[in-house]
Structure 1
């Protein structure tokens, strides 16, 4: 729709192994971190933020272990704007760092107990130090969305003059909405040649929308986490950003959609956070259909009720019977069992299916369908002659 206003490619910078692990109660083992890193790399994610070196020796060793995998992805570590963090990062065999500092007046005074002048000075001095150490530097603006815009432009100008490569705009409190986000990034883009990265939080359910808006406004990089893990309500989900960019704006990220389901379930197990069955892109039930109108339409032409082809994600449509099924679905299900029903039989079976769904809260199995037929028409002899697959699933091939 707005493809002409989007860049030809957007760089995904996934922070599952840093901000994702900051989800309350989530802690990955080393084996889990290695598996997640491999899976993200296999999916084609070009940048991975993999840890916080200053956390200590174990964190540094795990970062080094990921670095030893020899992944194609660029590896980045997260640091505060502090000398101790730089020294810790030197132990990690990673060449790119994100140096983060608060840029809103609220956090500058209320968290750092400093002033704007100190922030600008710190960016200049620590960027220079990091460059001297051999790092490529990205400056992270914590709480950017609550910062004064004129001061934010001074922060970016200072970072660029000091030799930083990128500025990360963090909507730390998840307070932005897409129209404001786009406007902000248009102003930032017109004022700097730095790479611009959006780091959106999902407190109002707008992280993906804000990420798309930032890219439309001029962001070159997008922070994501698998399944939207992260502080509080989490970050922009990798799977949503990748698929929305591809389908809505014809913008490619290099991330392969058919890997998304696998990496999502790997992270779900490692994090102990179950994926809702109706979670966009990676939920178990998002290609499952029960409604009679939808099933009838799909059986006639998939395009009637298909926006994303499930084959893109290595999946397929599933048609199930339930309270909202119609006669077309009943005929189709019994045809799969080798049984052709007339109109009267379909109506009787449909009533049984609906009653079953309301009573049991589940869709009928192949055995249930056979039983419905036997109970209604006393067709034991006929059914005995049929080779019924009792492992039957209502799956469209």
Structure 2
């Protein structure tokens, strides 16, 4: 069975507190969603602003393969606004639960029903395709919900949507009302699930099993409060989990991680590291038991191949590491210590882990080089001197002194902030000496208060397209950024040198 993916990242996703997208940003995300293979894109809520209408008009005219939809209340002015920007498909809604009717709309059930019917008839008179949502459906009286869906079906609705507006449903209940709706109307049914109790994806899958043909989702599950059903989790769940029937989507799953990162960067909402499918730790392993299993057969501790979603697995050394993990990481650099040397390396790694130390690849190579008495396995780039100057009225300025393979280099540069100035100064040196440039920079706060910690992730690239990433955590954003940059440069230079050395042998 083919499941329709209706993406509402640009509408419900933008309702995430603190998120506001420009028209250009909306267009860029819409293009990525279209490349990903979504069937429908809810481009926005046309009535709310001139910028919203500008963005939707551009998206409808962009020649995308996906159906482009706009949200509208059951008001003629909303529907007119949608038609005015070139939309041929609207998603119109009105609340049907007694709590919404009494306290928000101040309408009776009969009045709400009449507004729903009138809106559908009016939209159809304009030649629009109509998907009707009964907002807060899962808290609506069950018989009244069926009555509303029957009435809008008779009025000409093309599709129906069951919103679990406050994430209140269970998988069992949403399956029951999905069956009710299908039996009463025989129209295609969608579900729009929120994640207030962490059940959005489970509820969406349960509704699909009960006969729903479409799920409303967002990239990374962003949205109001705890968010919406996550596109990547739903799609991979349908594709990979065991069901009585086979479910398929039009999503190119190899683009999931790339799309997740793109949206996260634009909207400014960090993806939690342990998030399923697209979280940084989703295919990361430290435990010696897990690493050993994955190296023997990835299916022992990975339910799916990371390449399926555009990822790669990675290993982390630390206090939970085992000999197999250490050996595998060193093998990436062409380094093969003896069994005894591996044990010594592991013991040192565990001691550092017990002290709360995060061990990077570069540090692991340094430990290996010391134990194996191979001085070439060490940091090639050292920070020998560093200072920044900033203040009101003065452009931030940085001085950096690096030791690169035994030679000292000095650089100064300006930037829009002290971090930018520092990285610019470093890149002046590494761009000339080792052809390494920064490709991506990401800053996250991982604790609050006056002594908050920040986490900086850097991706660097050399002239041959080789890439390496590094992460650093600290209290000072500038120093932490510089440390991450230096680690990233060391990683890519060591990889290149060791690769050349191994090829030469």
Structure 2 CA distance for partners of 1:14 and 1:380, relative to 1, 3 Å: closer
1:290 to 286, 289, 306: 286
Does residue 170 (structure 1) correspond to residue 163 (structure 2)? The answer is: yes
Structure 2 CA distance for partners of 1:326 and 1:135, relative to 1, 3 Å: same
| CA offsets 1:275-329 (integer angstroms, 9 cap, x no match) | 1122111112211111111111122222222211111122221122111111222
Q: Over aligned residues, Cα RMSD in angstroms?
A: 2.0
| Structure 1 unmatched ranges of 5 or more | 1-7
Deviation larger for 350-359 or 38-47: 350-359
Q: Match for residue 298 of structure 2?
A: 302
* Structure-2 separation of matches of 1:114 and 1:338: 72
| CA offsets 1:87-128 (integer angstroms, 9 cap, x no match) | 211211010111110111111121111111112212222211
Cα distance, 1:390 vs structure 2: 5.1
Deviation larger for 66-75 or 284-293: 284-293
* Structure-2 separation of matches of 1:337 and 1:166: 55
Deviation larger for 9-18 or 351-360: 351-360
Q: Match for residue 340 of structure 2?
A: 344
Task: Say if 1:10 and 1:252, in contact at 8 Å, map to a contact too.
Answer: yes
1:328 to 324, 327, 331: 324
Task: Say if 1:49 and 1:76, in contact at 8 Å, map to a contact too.
Answer: yes
* Structure-2 separation of matches of 1:20 and 1:380: 52
Q: Match for residue 155 of structure 1?
A: 148
Q: Match for residue 391 of structure 1?
A: 494
| CA offsets 1:132-153 (integer angstroms, 9 cap, x no match) | 1111111111110110000000
Q: Match for residue 103 of structure 1?
A: 96
Cα distance, 1:55 vs structure 2: 1.0
* Structure-2 separation of matches of 1:309 and 1:33: 31
Q: Match for residue 4 of structure 1?
A: none
1:371 to 359, 366, 372: 366
SS at match of 2:494: coil
Equivalent positions of 1:214-363 (< 5 A) are 214-248=207-241, 249=243, 250-359=246-355, 361-363=357-359
Does residue 112 (structure 1) correspond to residue 108 (structure 2)? The answer is: no
| CA offsets 1:133-191 (integer angstroms, 9 cap, x no match) | 11111111111011000000000100110010111111111111112211221222222
Does residue 210 (structure 1) correspond to residue 203 (structure 2)? The answer is: yes
Structure 2 CA distance for partners of 1:179 and 1:58, relative to 1, 3 Å: same
Structure with a larger share of its residues in strand? 2
* Structure-2 separation of matches of 1:389 and 1:39: 29
SS at match of 2:248: coil
* Structure-1 separation of matches of 2:57 and 2:74: 21
Cα distance, 1:360 vs structure 2: 5.1
Structure 2 CA distance for partners of 1:74 and 1:339, relative to 1, 3 Å: closer
Q: Match for residue 189 of structure 2?
A: 196
SS at match of 2:17: coil
Matched pairs, number:
381
* Structure-2 separation of matches of 1:135 and 1:220: 21
SS at match of 2:152: helix
* Structure-1 separation of matches of 2:202 and 2:302: 22
TM-score after normalising by structure 2? 0.72
Structure 2 CA distance for partners of 1:333 and 1:111, relative to 1, 3 Å: closer
| Structure 2 unmatched ranges of 5 or more | 379-490, 497-505
Cα distance, 1:339 vs structure 2: 4.2
Q: Match for residue 41 of structure 2?
A: 48
Structure 2 CA distance for partners of 1:330 and 1:23, relative to 1, 3 Å: closer
| CA offsets 1:55-87 (integer angstroms, 9 cap, x no match) | 133221211011111100001100000111122
Cα distance, 1:344 vs structure 2: 3.1
Q: Match for residue 80 of structure 2?
A: 87
Q: Match for residue 3 of structure 1?
A: none
| CA offsets 1:358-377 (integer angstroms, 9 cap, x no match) | 335322324x2343245446
Q: Match for residue 181 of structure 1?
A: 174
Equivalent positions of 1:123-142 (< 5 A) are 123-142=116-135
